[in-house]
């Protein structure tokens, strides 16, 4: 049995999968806000409760915001600041009495979709999360590639490629730099683009709904968003050339986002044409927690 944990800023989700990937149990609890010890305790309690319910012990994988530093062994780059600088893998392991595996949530998303999702069977998969932030993960031959510094896939903190004059110098990112892809392609980026067209304020999901309903200004904002997404993904195609790009996160559900996206990417990619598959995630919000479980491919 494989157990996966998805540690988010507002909720902690657990899933237990059998050998075939079928769901045996799934639960969610609220993340103890600003409470690191409480968070470790909540994760341990979920694992032990699910194992008690099923009468089986499993391997445990954890998807987290951020990544473990290869230099210090503690968590870095997390938007859940209470986790930064903590040896979260060691603390969870000590509480449940066994080794665990831990990966960035975008890596877990990509792994889930590569194993039995929208990119099942593909040799190389780039998974993209478009939501409050913009993340990415790379899976090759069923293995997550984390890189020397545990930052492989962090395309959201590269500058937006082929910027237009109106896009320079770009908005300030929480990482401290200006013009990051994340600032353009996160939910706030779409909302900001809509405000430029209308001088009105709407959250990203309302902009998407308005565009689907035929609002011309909302459609214009989504079109700008899609073109920027194409530029960002073209740089991924140029460097990695994956077989499949899987889009996840709330903004991946925008109606019409995929219309002509491949042609737009091809316009910027360094090739006469591309046939990269660009697909929506199959497992949706469950991809992260499922990918965490698949961090142990052989199970237990």
Q: What are the extents of the domains in the chain?
A: 2-105, 118-281
**CATH number of this structure's domain 118-281:** 3.30.420.40
Question: Full-prediction pTM beyond 0.75?
Answer: yes
User: How far is residue 27's CA from residue 56's CA, in Å, rounded to a whole number?
Assistant: 16
Q: What are phi and psi of 255, to 5 degrees?
A: -60, 135
Structure tokens at 186: 């996160």
Helix (H), strand (E), coil (C) string for 23-43: EEEEEEEECCCCCHHHHHHHH
pLDDT per position as a tens digit, 61-75: 999 999 999 999 999
- pLDDT for residue 80: 86
User: Residue range 241-247: average pLDDT?
Assistant: 98
- Does position 36 have pLDDT exceeding 70, yes or no? yes
- pLDDT for residue 299: 66
* CATH 3.30.420.40, applies to 2-105: yes
Structure tokens at 126: 């780039």
- pLDDT for residue 130: 96
Does this chain's domain 2-105 share its CATH topology with 118-281?
yes
């Amino acid at each position: 049995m494989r157990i996966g944990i998805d540690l988010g800023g507002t909720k902690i989700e657990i899933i237990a999968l059998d050998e075939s990937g079928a769901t045996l149990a799934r639960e969610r609890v609220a993340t103890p806000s600003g409470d690191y010890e409480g968070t470790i305790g909540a994760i341990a309690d979920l694992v032990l409760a699910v194992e008690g319910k099923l009468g089986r012990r499993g391997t445990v994988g954890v998807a987290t915001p951020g990544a473990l530093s290869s230099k210090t062994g503690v968590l870095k780059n997390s938007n859940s600041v209470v986790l930064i600088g903590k040896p979260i893998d060691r603390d969870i392991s000590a509480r449940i009495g066994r080794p665990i595996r831990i990966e960035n949530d975008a890596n877990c998303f990509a792994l889930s979709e590569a194993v039995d999702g929208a990119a099942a069977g593909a040799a190389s998969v780039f998974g993209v999360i478009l939501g409050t932030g913009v993340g990415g993960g790379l899976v090759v031959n069923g293995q997550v590639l984390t890189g020397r510094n545990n930052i492989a896939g962090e395309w959201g903190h590269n500058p937006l490629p082929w910027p237009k004059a109106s896009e320079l110098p770009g908005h300030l990112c929480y990482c401290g730099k200006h013009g990051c892809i994340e600032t353009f392609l996160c939910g706030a980026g779409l909302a900001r683009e809509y405000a430029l067209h209308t001088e009105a304020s709407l959250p990203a999901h309302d902009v998407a709904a308005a565009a689907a309903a035929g609002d011309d200004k909302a459609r214009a904002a989504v079109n700008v968003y899609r073109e920027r997404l194409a530029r960002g993904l073209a740089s991924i195609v140029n460097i990695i050339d994956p077989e499949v790009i899987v889009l996840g996160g709330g903004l991946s559900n925008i109606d019409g986002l995929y219309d002509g996206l491949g042609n737009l990417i091809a316009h910027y990619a360094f090739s006469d044409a591309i046939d990269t598959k660009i697909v929506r995630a199959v497992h949706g919000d469950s991809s992260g927690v499922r990918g965490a479980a698949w961090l142990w491919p052989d199970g237990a």
